[in-house]
Amino acid sequence: MRALTAFVLLLLLGVAVAGNPSPAVNRRVINLPGRTDTLPFSNAVLAGDTLYLSGTIGIDPATGRPPANIEDEARLVLDNLKRVLEAAGMSMEDLVSVTVYCPDLSLYDRFNAVYRTYFARELPARAFIGSGPLLRGGHFEVQGIAVRR
């Protein structure tokens, strides 16, 4: 009988919890200061304590193209990611997931050599995905998800 009573109580509790909608999560669009383009996306969206970062590429602002040196391009793309995180009050240490798109998988080790220097502690989960051509001739596009520590 106790088991039946406990089951009924748990069932009723489950119905009561399921019937209560969860509170709305505050959202805030993050765009870098001085952004002048009219591209149809935000640099990131902060939903509660989770930041969803759009893909970014490593473009030299002086030329509008990726630098000739692959390591310089990797630094530019990671610096872009870091700037968006900082605009949301976060850091690279808050990243929990990173996706890297690269049309040339032979660049994996060269990207990793630069990537490691951006983290002092744990590394986020990551995928390095072979892709088709990237915008403006880039070799890397990086997107991520961060959760405030």
Per-residue pLDDT tens over the stretch 3-19: 444 444 444 444 444 55
**Residue 76 counted as domain residue:** yes
Q: What is the pLDDT of residues 44-100, one digit of tens each?
A: 999 999 999 999 999 998 998 999 999 999 999 999 999 999 999 999 999 999 999
Do 25 and 47 meet the contact criterion of CB atoms below 8 Å apart? Answer: yes
Q: Which of the two residues, 1 and 121, has the higher pLDDT score?
A: 121
User: Per the domain annotation, does 3 fall within a domain?
Assistant: no
Quick one: pLDDT at residue 24?
82
Question: Which residues on adjacent β-strands are paired with residue 52?
Answer: 45, 145
Q: What is the mean pLDDT of residues 32-49?
A: 88
CA distances from 137 to 66, 95, 101, 110, 117 (A): 7, 26, 13, 17, 24
- State the CATH number of the domain containing residue 41: 3.30.1330.40
Q: What is the pLDDT of residue 22?
A: 63
List all residues 6 or more positions away from 127 whose beta carbon is below 8 Å from its beta carbon: 98, 99, 100
Question: Residue 99's beta-bridge partner residues?
Answer: 127, 143
Tell me the C-alpha distance between 55 and 121, whole Å: 23
Domain count, the chain: 1
The pLDDT tens digits for 101-144 are: 999 999 999 999 999 999 998 999 999 999 999 999 999 999 99
How is residue 149 written in tokens? Answer: 């520590």
pLDDT computed for residue 20 by the predictor: 57
DSSP-derived secondary structure for 35-100? -----SS-SEEEETTEEEEEEEE--BTTTTB--SSHHHHHHHHHHHHHHHHHHTT--GGGEEEEEE
pLDDT at 13: 43
Q: Is residue 4 part of a domain?
A: no
Domain span at 49? 25-147
Check residue 61 and give its pLDDT: 86
Q: What pLDDT was estimated at residue 121? A: 86
**Cα separation, 105 vs 71, whole angstroms:** 14
The residue-averaged pLDDT of 39-46 equals 92
**Is residue 14 assigned to a domain?**
no
Collapsing DSSP to helix, strand or coil, 18 comes out as: helix
Residue 90 to residue 98: CA distance in whole angstroms: 15
Is the residue at 84 inside a domain?
Answer: yes
